[in-house]
């Protein structure tokens, strides 16, 4: 098992109460980082903190709604106040949202999905780089999706937001490279998470098999597999990787 040296560093992970976010927080802690567990789900965030503590790590939970700039600013302040720095940030919070054809999607649903999945990443990144510019750099990973590369029926808002995350990532990577801040994205395929369950994909066996069959290994991914990619991007092993949309999708074949 690969081991990185993150001792004495601090990582912030949004959407860390469950799924990919929780596994990413646990992975950072396994490699020695102190972790700020940020989420609107306070109970889930507390469970993540407990899991990290059970493994001998350090973590603190902070209520964070990524649609509120004041929340993401407090998230960054918590990292610095509790642990002394902000070295790594993973902007993972997101929602699936309504599944409707583009012309039938309610405007309020469009705005909510885009506000969380795209604007929320921008708000978080903005607060993070504001601090990192004043220290010795850092690494930011934005959670995009394989649907940031391809279309998907009845998911126009989600797809548009994830395409936007990739554009934001590539632009910020150039803007902050001179400040020794690397900004990358991870584009997961379909992963075994609550989001898929809530979207009816994992509860509908026929749909589940159809989606799984679009991946070369004929299965859905696991959160741990995405967390491993995120932590690699933050490590020195990825020191020449910047502005990269790292796709972890078993060669997903779109419609």
With 70 as the cut, is the pLDDT of residue 72 above it? yes
Please tell me the number of Cα atoms within 13 Å of 219 on its side-chain side.
6
How does the average pLDDT of the chain come out, rounded? 95
pLDDT band at residue 140 under the 50/70/90 scheme: very high
Residue 27: closest CA among 54, 52, 62, 9: 52
The CB density around residue 36, as the number of other CB atoms within 10 Å, is 30
Output 206 or 226, whichever has higher pLDDT: 226
Which residues belong to the active site?
A: 158
User: How many angstroms separate the CA atoms of 202 and 229, rounded?
Assistant: 23
Instruction: Give the domains, in start order, of the chain with CATH numbers.
Output: 10-193+222-248 (3.40.50.720)
Residues in the chain: 255
Overall pTM surpassing 0.85 (yes/no): yes
Helix axes 156-176, 120-132, angle to 10 degrees: 10
Instruction: Indicate the SS3 state at residue 125.
Output: helix
Percent of the chain topping pLDDT 90 = 89
Instruction: Indicate the SS3 state at residue 17.
Output: coil
Please tell me the number of Cα atoms within 13 Å of 50 on its side-chain side.
8
pLDDT tens-digit map of 150-183: 999 999 999 999 999 999 999 999 999 999 999 9
Please give the pLDDT value at position 63: 98
Mean pLDDT of 134-138: 93
């Amino acid at each position: 098992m690969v081991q990185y040296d993150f001792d004495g560093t601090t990582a912030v992970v949004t959407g860390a109460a469950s799924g990919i976010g929780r596994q990413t927080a646990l992975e950072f802690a396994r490699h020695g980082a102190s972790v700020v567990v940020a989420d609107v789900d306070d109970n889930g965030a507390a469970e993540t903190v407990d899991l990290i503590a059970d493994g001998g790590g350090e973590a603190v939970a902070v209520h964070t709604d990524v649609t509120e700039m004041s929340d993401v600013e407090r998230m960054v302040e918590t990292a610095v106040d509790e642990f002394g720095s902000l070295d790594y940030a993973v902007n993972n919070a997101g929602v699936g949202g309504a599944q409707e054809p583009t012309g039938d999607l309610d405007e309020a649903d469009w705005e909510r999905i885009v506000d969380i999945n795209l604007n929320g990443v921008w708000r978080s990144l903005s607060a993070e780089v504001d601090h990192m510019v004043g220290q010795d750099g850092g690494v930011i990973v934005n959670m995009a999706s394989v649907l940031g590369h391809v279309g998907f029926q009845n998911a126009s808002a989600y797809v548009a937001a994830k395409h936007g995350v990739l554009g934001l990532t590539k632009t910020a990577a150039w803007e902050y490279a001179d400040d020794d801040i690397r900004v990358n994205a991870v584009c997961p395929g379909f992963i075994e998470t609550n989001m898929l369950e809530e979207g009816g994909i994992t509860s509908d066996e026929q749909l589940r098999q159809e989606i799984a069959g679009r991946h070369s290994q004929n299965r859905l991914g696991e959160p741990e597999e995405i967390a491993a990619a995120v932590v690699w991007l933050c490590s020195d092993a990825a020191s020449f990787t910047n502005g990269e949309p790292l796709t972890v999708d078993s060669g997903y074949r779109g419609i």
